[in-house]
Amino acid sequence: MKLTHEQHQLLDGEAGAVVAKYFRTLVDWGRIMGAERLVKVHSVHASGITASGRVAGSVTKQAAEATLAQVMEFTSVKMRAPTATHVARICLQDDKGGGVSAEDREFQQIVIERARAAGIQLTWTCAPYIAGILPTKTQICAWTESSAVVYINSMIGARSVRNGAESAIGAAMSGWFPEFGVLLEENRGADLIIDVEQVPGDELCDWGFLGYFAGEVSGLRTPVFTGLPAPSQEAAKQLSAAVATGGGCTMFHIAGITPEAPDLAAVVRKPVERIRYTRADRDRIAAKLNTLSGTDIDYVVLGCPHATLEEIRIIGARLEGRKISERVRLEVWTAWSVKAVAERMGLVQAIENAGGRVLTDSCPSITRSGFGKRMVTNAVKQANYLQGMTGHEVAVGSMDQVISAALSGTWSPQ
Ligand code: F3S
Span 232-258, pLDDT tens digits: 999 999 999 999 999 999 999 999 999
**Across the chain, which distance is largest between two alpha carbons, in Å?**
65
The tens digit of pLDDT for each residue in 118-148 reads 999 999 999 999 999 999 999 999 999 999 9
**Among 149, 19, 12, 17, which Cα is nearest to 86's?**
149
**Integer CA distances (angstroms), 368 to 113, 125, 132, 365, in order:** 25, 16, 27, 5
**155 secondary structure, DSSP code:** I
Model-wide pTM > 0.85: yes
CA-nearest residue for atom 1, ligand 1, is 305
Exposure letters 32-60 (e unless 16+ CB within 10 A, then b): eeebeebeebbbbbbbbbbbbbbbbebbe
- Confidence category of residue 98, pLDDT binned at 50, 70, 90: low
Of all atoms in ligand 1, which is nearest to the CA of residue 147?
Answer: 5
Name residues whose C-beta falls within 8 Å of residue 46's C-beta, 6 or more positions apart in sequence: 74, 83, 84, 85, 86, 120, 144, 165, 168, 169, 172
Give the C-alpha separation, 407 to 322, whole Å. Answer: 8
Name the residue at shortest CA distance from atom 4 of ligand 1: 126
| Ligand 1: nearest atom to the Cα of 303 | 6
pLDDT-derived band of residue 369, with 50, 70 and 90 as boundaries? Answer: confident
Atom of ligand 1 nearest to the CA of 382: 7
Q: Which of 213, 218, 235 is nearest to 310 (CA)?
A: 235
Q: How far is CA 331 from CA 191, 237, 320, 358, 362, in A?
A: 38, 19, 15, 6, 11
Burial 275-314 (b: 16+ CB within 10 A, else e): eebeeebbeebbebbbbbeeebbbbbbbbbbbbbbebbbb
What Rg, from alpha-carbon coordinates, does the chain have? 21
**Rounded to the nearest whole angstrom, what is the distance from the C-alpha of residue 240 to the centroid of ligand 1?**
12
Read off the pLDDT of residues 275-288 as tens digits, 9 standing for 90 and up. 999 999 999 999 99
| All structural domains of the chain | 5-183 (3.30.499.10), 189-288 (no CATH), 290-408 (3.30.499.10)
Say whether pLDDT at 95 is over 80: no
Q: How far is the CA of 2 from the centre of ligand 1 (A)?
A: 37
Q: How confident is the model at residue 56 (pLDDT cuts 50, 70, 90)?
A: very low
Q: What is the pLDDT of residue 55?
A: 44
Q: Atom 6, ligand 1: which residue's CA is nearest?
A: 304
**Of the candidates 35, 15, 49, 48, which has an alpha carbon nearest to the alpha carbon of residue 174?**
15
What one-character DSSP code corresponds to residue 131? G
- Helix boundaries (H) for 247-379: 264-267, 279-289, 309-319, 336-344, 347-353, 364-367
pLDDT at 96: 54
Segment 166-224, tens digit of pLDDT: 999 999 999 999 999 999 999 999 999 999 999 999 999 999 999 999 999 999 999 99
> Which of 37-41, 96-100, 191-195 is predicted least confidently?
96-100
Centre of ligand 1 from the C-alpha of residue 3, in Å: 36
3-state secondary structure of 338: helix
With cut-offs at 50, 70 and 90, classify the pLDDT of residue 94: low
Q: Whose CA is nearest to atom 7 of ligand 1?
A: 382
CB 35 within 8 A of CB 178: yes
Q: What is the mean pLDDT of the chain?
A: 94
Q: Is the dihedral angle over the CA atoms 178, 183, 186, 188 positive or is it negative?
A: positive
pLDDT given at position 87 = 94
DSSP 240-264: HHHHHHHS--S--EETTTSTT-SSH
Q: Which of 363, 386, 387, 396 to mutate to test the pocket of ligand 1 (most atoms within 8 A of CB)?
A: 363
- pLDDT reading at 390 higher than 90: no
Candidate of 237, 381, 385 to mutate for ligand 1, largest count of ligand atoms within 8 Å of Cβ? 381
CA 307 to mean position of chain CA atoms = 11
- Min mean pLDDT across 86-95, 155-164, 236-245 is at 86-95
Give the whole-angstrom CA distance, residue 414 versus residue 235: 21
Residue 76, pLDDT > 80, answer yes
- Backbone phi, psi, residue 3, to 5°: -115, 145
Is residue 28 helix, strand or coil? helix
Ligand 1 test: best mutation among 126, 144, 334, most atoms within 8 Å of CB?
Answer: 126
CA of 271 to the centre of ligand 1 (A): 35
Which of 123, 130, 366 for mutating ligand 1's site (highest number of atoms within 8 Å of CB)?
366
Statement: residue 9 has pLDDT above 60: yes
From 181, 179, 187, 156, select the one nearest 269 (Cα to Cα): 187
Angle, CA 122 vertex, CA 69 and CA 375 arms, to 5°: 85
Q: Which helix (H) or strand (E) holds 30?
A: helix 17-32
* pLDDT of 284: 98
d(CA 332, CA 308): 10
Statement: residue 343 has pLDDT above 90: yes
d(Cα 102, Cα 115) in Å, to the nearest integer? Answer: 20
In ligand 1, the atom with minimum distance to the C-alpha of 364 is 2
Name the residue at shortest CA distance from atom 2 of ligand 1: 363
For the CA atoms of 74, 79, 82, 88, the dihedral, rounded to the nearest 10 degrees, stands at 20
pLDDT of residue 59: 62
DSSP H/E element including 357 = strand 357-360
Pocket lined around ligand 1, Cβ cut-off 6 Å: 87, 126, 147, 241, 304-306, 333, 363, 365-366, 381-382, 385
